[in-house]
Amino acid sequence: MTELISSGLVRGMGIGSTYALLAVGFVIIYRATGVINFAQPALMILGAYATSVFATGVGMPFPVAVLAAMAVLAAVGMATERVALRPMVGRQPFAAAMVTVGVLTVLFVVAHRLIGTQVRTVGDPWGLERASLFGVSVAQVDLAKIVVSLVAIGAVGLFLARSRLGLAMRATSMDQEVALAQGVNVGRMFSLAWGISAALAALAGMLVGTSAGGFEAITALVALKALPVIIVGGLDSIKGAVYAGLLIGIAEALTRTYQPRYAEWLGANVDVVVPYVIMIVVLAFRPYGLFGTREVERV
Amino acid sequence: MTAAPDAALAEPLLDVAGLTLRFGGTTAIRDVGFGAGEGSLLAIIGPNGAGKTSILNCLSGVYRPQEGTIRYRGEDLRGMRPDVIARLGVARMFQNIELFENLTVLDNLMLGRHRHLRYGTLAALLYGGKARRAETENRRVVEDIIDFLEIQAIRGSLVGMLPYGLKKRVELGRALAMEPTLLLLDEPVAGMNVEETEDMARFILDIRGELGVTMIMIEHEMGLVMDIADQVLVLDFGRRIALGPPAQVQRDPAVVKAYLGEAS
């Protein structure tokens, strides 16, 4: 029972909420611009690096370092949009998505250079500390991941749903020309979407960097887990990103805990495959995702 | 004696001169000029393909005319971006309904308030006191418009679910939510039945009477044009063939010829 809660559910929700955070970043850019941003992994790992520099290098208090890293990455995201994606406005979303693959390559090379080959730490205060949750000992870092992610996603969700800038962003995603006729500065909405999305990626990078003793450049590939998440949840649904993120995180953790014991014949590292198995099953029955809008086209 | 105030009064809200729009070798609008005084209603009529919608597209910045000037409150709109023009107070109702079908009526109207976004991005993200007060004010304006257009019953409905006539009314509401100085209407009663047409005519007259909004309206429904327009601009093949009060334009031989052909 204890094992089920601590290394199954809580760890799973910890990882899953990080996936959710990354997935929300995808969803925001997709909703505003119709483009799937494949550069997200690079933005994430640069966010982890920035946090690491601010917290352990510069010596800022940890929360300040995290906010500073988010701000820096928001600026990187906005600059990327302005330089690489703005010229693609009006083209096929598919072409723009390919541009983001190029951006991924460029930023990833930069990240490799900056991070080097050694393992870095983000300087988080949680470490290997444990806390008691209803009498069960769980890792503090797992709780931190859940709380930080859900608070950040909640804030962004509220912004999109309630504020008029959020409304303008949604309108831009539906029809740019009509949004223009309402006086919406469409370019600014794109910029805002990339800024928010990159800031969330930075936050996710920090959370990914806390666990298993730090991060290296290749840790960026964790962000690719967000792809099955957005497909399971629905490309345009923030709610879907959260549920699907948690679902996939928990499924992964449970598999990692129990599969070697009860289904050893499946081989090693089966948990790595689990997100994609879930994705294939969902695609077969609900091709637009669990919470996605039916008409949404695929890139 | 007091020439200056008179001259200021005489200055029309909108003064278009020498407007020419070409698409490659095709000239869609050729040297068209017209004006619209504060609070007046100018109707644009003409056969299909005469360039009516192209003129509205020039005014709202969707098309960039090659020649001419579009003076609006002393500024030349030519070459400005559509969102900049919208923020200057030029609202538009499209020929084919262009609402956000996945949003509610209320959200569609709130979008019209975008140009009155008086707080910055950061304030919006934090949703502090200033942003909150501004939103309350915006909400009040939108509620007034909902009352004005008598659409209380559907305020929370998704626009995609509404019948055609109501959608047109919501689109008019969204344009009004901008609190425009100049309102461009592209066939506001197209496809409507008699009752819906009369409702729309009443709203248009109220908008002019109560709100004092200047309007430019493209319309094929001649009865409506003759009833409510102050001035009528007649286009044919991108040229202006007549401009004047409805009664005068109606008798103009060039207009009769364009509409009925050579024989008449």
pLDDT digits (tens, 9 = 90+) for A159-186: 888 788 888 888 888 888 888 888 888 8
Does A171 sit within 8 Å of B178, measured CB to CB? no
> Chain A, 179-198: which have a CB under 8 Å from a chain B CB?
179-186, 188, 192
- Least confident segment among A215-219, B18-22, B240-244: A215-219
ipTM confidence score = 0.75
What residues of A are in contact with residue B83 (Cβ under 8 Å)? 179-186
* Domain spans of chain B, in order of start: 10-89+182-264, 100-179
Query: Running DSSP on this structure, what letter comes out for residue B158?
Result: B
Whether the pLDDT of residue B1 is over 50: the answer is: no
B218: left (phi over 0), alpha (psi -120 to 50) or beta: beta
Angle at A35 between CA A33 and CA A37, to 5 degrees: 120
Q: What percent of chain A has pLDDT over 90?
A: 51
For CA atoms B70, B75, B77, B79, give the dihedral sign.
Answer: positive
Indicate the residue type of B118.
R
Tens digit of pLDDT for each residue in B62-97?
999 999 999 999 899 998 999 999 999 999 998 888
Does A164 sit within 8 Å of B117, measured CB to CB? yes
What residues of B are in contact with residue A163 (Cβ under 8 Å)? 124-125, 127, 131, 135
Closest in A164, A181, A188 to B60, CB measured: A181
Q: Which residues pair with A132 in a beta bridge?
A: A137
- Give chain A's mean pLDDT: 89
Give residue B29's pLDDT.
94
Q: Note whether A89 contacts B: Cβ–Cβ < 8 A.
A: no
**Residue positions counted in chain A:** 299
Q: What are phi and psi of A82, to 5 degrees?
A: -65, -45
Strands (E), chain B: 14-23, 26-36, 41-45, 67-72, 75-76, 90-93, 182-186, 214-218, 231-236, 239-244
Whether the pLDDT of residue A98 is over 60: the answer is: yes
| Higher pLDDT, residue B161 or A149 | A149
Coil, strand or helix: which one is B226? helix
First to last CA, chain B: 49
Q: Note whether A74 contacts B: Cβ–Cβ < 8 A.
A: no
Count of CB atoms situated within 10 Å of the CB of A243: 18
Report the CATH architecture of B10-89+182-264: 3-Layer(aba) Sandwich (3.40)
Closest in A175, A186, A293 to B100, CB measured: A175
Query: What is the distance between the alpha carbons of residues B207 and B163, in angstroms, rounded to a whole number?
Result: 23
Give residue B5's pLDDT.
44
Q: Looking at residues B10-39, what average pLDDT do you find?
A: 90
Coil, strand or helix: which one is B31? strand
Q: Looking at residues A79-95, what average pLDDT do you find?
A: 88
Whether the pLDDT of residue B262 is over 80: the answer is: no
Q: What percent of chain B has pLDDT over 90?
A: 57
Does A192 sit within 8 Å of B98, measured CB to CB? no
Q: How confident is the model at residue A299 (pLDDT cuts 50, 70, 90)?
A: very low
Cα–Cα distances in angstroms (integers) from residue A222 to residues A121, A225, A275, in the given order:
16, 6, 12
Q: Note whether A177 contacts B: Cβ–Cβ < 8 A.
A: yes
Q: Looking at residues B115-129, what average pLDDT do you find?
A: 66
Give the closest residue to A17 by CA, choosing from A217, A137, A152, A123: A152
Q: Looking at residues B180-201, what average pLDDT do you find?
A: 92
Q: Report residue B17 as tokens.
A: 């001169």
Q: Distance from B77 to chain A by nearest Cα, in Å? A: 14
Give residue A295's pLDDT.
55
Interface test with B, best of A172, A182, A294 (most B CBs within 10 A): A182
Per the CB < 8 A criterion, the answer to whether A209 and A93 are in contact is no
Does B124 sit within 8 Å of A164, measured CB to CB? yes
Q: What are phi and psi of A197, to 5 degrees?
A: -60, -45
Coil, strand or helix: which one is B235? strand
> How would you classify the pairing of strands A136-139 and B90-93?
unpaired
Query: What is the distance between the alpha carbons of residues B173 and B101, in angstroms, rounded to a whole number?
Result: 15
Q: Note whether A3 contacts B: Cβ–Cβ < 8 A.
A: no
Q: What are phi and psi of B25, to 5 degrees?
A: -85, -10
What residues of A are in contact with residue B62 (Cβ under 8 Å)? 177
Q: Note whether A129 contacts B: Cβ–Cβ < 8 A.
A: no
- DSSP states of chain A: -HHIIIIIIIHHHHHHHHHHHHHHHHHHHHHHHS---TTHHHHHHHHHHHHHIIIIIS---HHHHHHHHHHHHHHHHHHHIIIIIGGGTTS-HHHHHHHHHHHHHHHHHHHHHHH-SS-B----S-TT-EEEETTEEEEHHHHHHHHHHHHHHHHHHHHHHHSHHHHHHHHHHH-HHHHHHTT--HHHHHHHHHHHHHHHHHHHHHHHHHTTT-B-GGGGGGGGGHHHHHHHH-TT-HHHHHHHHHHHHHHHHHHHHHHHHH-GGG-S-HHHHHHHHHHHHHHHH-TT-SS--TTPPP-
Whether the pLDDT of residue A279 is over 90: the answer is: yes
- Give chain B's mean pLDDT: 87
Tens digit of pLDDT for each residue in A31-54?
888 889 999 999 999 999 999 999
Q: Looking at residues A281-295, what average pLDDT do you find?
A: 82
Per the CB < 8 A criterion, the answer to whether A44 and A69 are in contact is no
Query: What is the distance between the alpha carbons of residues B37 and B218, in angstroms, rounded to a whole number?
Result: 17
Tens digit of pLDDT for each residue in A103-153?
999 999 999 999 988 888 888 888 778 888 777 888 889 999 999 999 999
Q: Note whether A161 contacts B: Cβ–Cβ < 8 A.
A: no
Q: How confident is the model at residue B122 (pLDDT cuts 50, 70, 90)?
A: low
Give residue B10's pLDDT.
54
The structure tokens 């917290």 sit at A55
Q: Distance from B253 to chain A by nearest Cα, in Å? A: 37
- DSSP states of B78-144: TT--HHHHHHTTEEEE-SS----TTSBHHHHHHHHGGGG--S-HHHHHHT-HHHHHHHHHHHHHHHH
Whether the pLDDT of residue B126 is over 50: the answer is: yes
- Least confident segment among A268-282, A284-298, B3-17, B128-142: B3-17
The count of CB pairs under 8 A between chains A and B is 85
Closest in B100, B131, B135 to A171, CB measured: B100
- DSSP states of A125-143: S-TT-EEEETTEEEEHHHH
Q: Distance from B49 to chain A by nearest Cα, in Å? A: 22
Q: Report residue A267 as tokens.
A: 């081989």
State which residue of chain B sits closest to A193, comparing Cα positions: B121
